Amino acid sequence: MNYRLFFQRKINFGKRLIRLHHSNVLLFLVLSITGFILFSSTFRSLFPSVRVWIRDIHIWVGVLLCLPLLFYLPKMKQHVKTLQKKNNNRINLYFIFMILILLIFSGLLLTYHRLFPPIVSSFSLFIHDLATWFGVPYAIYHSITRSQWFKMVVKTKQPEKRLQEPIIIDDQNPIYRRRTFLKVLSGSIIAIAFLPSMTKWLRAYLPAAGPTETLTDGNRLSPLPLPSANSSPPIGGGKKGEFRYYTVTEIPRLTNENWSFTLNGLVKQPKHYNWSEFVKLQRDVQVSDFHCVTGWSVYDITWEGIPLKKLLQDSVIKKEAKYVKFYSADGVYTDTLSLTQAMQDDIMVAVLLDGKLINQNNGRPVRLIVPKMYAYKSVKWLNRIELIKDDHIGYWEERGYSTDAWVNNS
Ligand SMILES: Nc1nc2c(c(=O)[nH]1)N[C@H]1C(S)=C(S)[C@@H](COP(=O)(O)O)O[C@H]1N2
Ligand SMILES: [Mo]
């Protein structure tokens, strides 16, 4: 009787586990898809207006995933006990559990990124990405090799009948060999499918191995700006980390003919420069960090460019001017700073990065940098600055990003 009771409990537990599995599979799928969309650069330009929604869905589904986990946690000990003789299943359980814990904790830190200095977000994003790069392929592998379909392929003969029986497997059994072969095969296919994007992601964290790729090589206006002594070799010792290249438009094709730089609006001396005039302007060099609100950062970048403060002062600002609006040559992207914010010493209209031309995808020939704020303020392909009276809502702020872009550097 005792035995039967135990058996009964085991079955119920098993059933509950299966149900738990099905809901988790669905949640995990939604998380993978929304996560992929958030990660992908392509999607950024395709559906910018739903980006913030997708982020919120991703966060809330992540929270939802914690619930079944909380129900499961008290029963975990019992579950592990039932797996005492199944080493593989136990390892599988521990692995998935570890991945989930990593994803949840790093996800929490990323959600509350404002409370922490950017180094915490960078680290959390690394962990979140890493756990995803292992977790998603593993989840795919797991669901394939545990599927009825896989078991049927393994036991090609009489699938219907034999499925009912428990699989008895030993080394002599041809099923064992076929199963191992198919497992290795599906594992390899999945690994090969994920490896290229995974190594590309990982490279950003490795010490720079040779010149990093440039997607495109246009926008080389002539004459080339010559780096000053502080810039080349860079006094910051070279940037640490890689930019994730983000754009909401096509990269604008800029030439000496179609590029010009304008500073106008509520100023007494509006400016208009063509490229050869612009490169003659006095430049400064500074070392600063670059933080995207999604969590990645690049450290110790040596920028060479014109301090924004200097440009603004030279144009003699009128009393009514309260905001500074920045325009991109892409014709779409804009952002604003209040005049007080814009007067910070470290804001720069940059033309060189570590003594070299900024990559075209990172804003060549000219980009704004606002080191103390999230990088959505740092307009790429900058070609116009306008002083205005009333606030202007920038591109991403209009689509849900916070108008308070200060990085918590406490
Ligand atoms: N013109 C333009 N500037 C832009 C953006 C953009 O999409 N278009 N993205 C912003 C955001 S959100 C970030 S994080 C940084 C990214 O800079 P990077 O592409 O050089 O890494 O550029 C900012 N400036
Ligand atoms: Mo960003």
pLDDT digits (tens, 9 = 90+) for 373-401: 999 999 999 999 999 999 999 999 999 99
Can you give the pLDDT at residue 409? 82
Residue of 239, 327, 380 best suited for mutating to test ligand 1, as the one with most atoms within 8 Å of CB: 380
- For residue 327, what pLDDT band results from cuts at 50, 70 and 90? very high
Instruction: State if residue 380 touches ligand 1 by the CB under 6 angstroms criterion.
Output: yes
Of residues 4 and 194, more confidently modeled: 194
Fold of 213-410: Sulfite Oxidase; Chain A, domain 2 (3.90.420)
Percent of the chain at pLDDT exceeding 90? 67
CB atoms within 10 A of CB 20: 15
How many angstroms separate the alpha carbon of residue 293 from the centre of ligand 2?
5
Closest residue CA from atom 7 of ligand 1 = 247
- For residue 56, what pLDDT band results from cuts at 50, 70 and 90? very high
Mean pLDDT of 200-220: 73
Segments of the chain assigned to CATH 1.20.950: 3-203
Segments of the chain assigned to CATH 3.90.420.10: 213-410
User: Which atom of ligand 1 is nearest to 358's Cα?
Assistant: 20
Closest residue CA from atom 24 of ligand 1 = 379
- The dihedral region occupied by 241, where left means phi > 0, alpha psi between -120 and 50, and beta the remainder, is left
Can you give the pLDDT at residue 1? 43
Cα dihedral sign, 88-94-99-103: positive
pTM, two decimals, is: 0.88
Q: Which CATH number fits domain 3-203: 2.40.230, 1.20.950, 1.10.3210, 2.60.40?
A: 1.20.950
pLDDT over threshold 60, residue 22: yes
Percent of the chain at pLDDT exceeding 70? 90
- For residue 29, what pLDDT band results from cuts at 50, 70 and 90? very high
Name the residue among 269, 272, 246, 245 with its Cα closest to residue 259: 272
